[in-house]
A and B are shown apart, each in its own frame.
Chain A
Amino acid sequence: MTIRLVERFGQYIGREEGLALANDIASKLRAKQCCTVDFDGVEVSLPSFFNALLGRLAEGMDVDALESRLSPIHETELQHRSWVSSLRSARTTDADADRMWTAERQALLG
């Protein structure tokens, strides 16, 4: 099954569209069907689109299974990086994020 983002949402997509798409396809992915997300024609896809889509789906299923069943096509390099980064976020635990953040926090607050 291929979802053409530009037909479903238009050329500009963000958090709301990511959540809507996650709601549309969650049951299919859980039923072990594969889905492809087609970025052709999308002008701007905000990082929050990827976070919302993959983060919401990762709440209901294993991230490895999600990665094997859901894939992007016709994405730009930046969209690909955002996709990978959001999958990485979905794998990162709160404790891991805390460890990474401690030193940066010190630098910011002085």
Chain B
Amino acid sequence: MRRRRYRGSSRLSRACGVLVIRGKWLRFQACDADTPFPTRDLERFFKYLSAEWARLLIEVKGDEREALLDAVGEIFENVFSHANSPVGAVVAGQHFSHPHSQRPPELHLAIVDIGDTIPLRVAERAEIDPDLVDPAKALAFAFRPQVSSEGSRRGSGMAIFRRFIEKNDAEVELYSGLGWARIGKNSRIVKGSAKVPGTAYDIIIRGIDWVPRPEELW
């Protein structure tokens, strides 16, 4: 019997913008009508998430689903509040079924911008703490509660995002300038070896099965 394989949805694979991450070329199509978000349009962003990916999240119910949308939305919001990215954000996703291994299925959502990096923004505070010129320390600082470029009493977006990721067996790899972070079970932040011209989040949510559309079976 012919084995049916899930092709998944590979919006990462068509590209005109390119980004090297961990030695791999992750390619993002900057001219696909589905994925670029040149302006902060929350409604369009969440409608895109619903249309493309939310059917995968049907099993994630109630509060958890709301928390997930909040967490992903917060990253999207950060692009327009802090990064000054000339092309806005590019959002892409890919599902891995892992049918031949014990690994649970994974949904990867990527949000990328080519604006000011997080270490660059945080380093503006180096007058207060000279340590913050170090990309890893600067990136770690972004996850501290009460950090915001808009005032000390309202920064917790990244801290909330981190709590969501750690509580939900999810994982994020974050590349920003020379900073690299893995947030999840074994969170760590280091100085990377290659400079990313902006910020890229690869959000990995486990245990979500792919429900293919008929045209996605081959």
Contact = CB atoms under 8 A, between A and B. Distances in A.
Contacts of A85: 156, 160
A110 B188 contact: yes
Interface residues of B, number: 37
Contacts, number: 111
Interface stretch (B4-12, B20-28, B143-151, B193-201): B143-151
Nearest to B134: A109
Interface residues of A, number: 39
Contacts of A48: 74, 77, 81, 157
B146 A94 contact: yes
A8 B136 CA distance: 41
A11 B40 contact: no
B43 interface: yes
List of 3 A-B pairs having minimum Cβ-Cβ separation, nearest first: A55-B154, A12-B42, A97-B146
7 contacts: A10-B43, A11-B43, A12-B42, A45-B70, A51-B154, A51-B157, A85-B160
Interface of B: 40, 42-43, 45-46, 63, 66-67, 69-70, 73-74, 77, 81, 136-137, 140-141, 143-146, 148, 150-157, 160, 181, 187-190
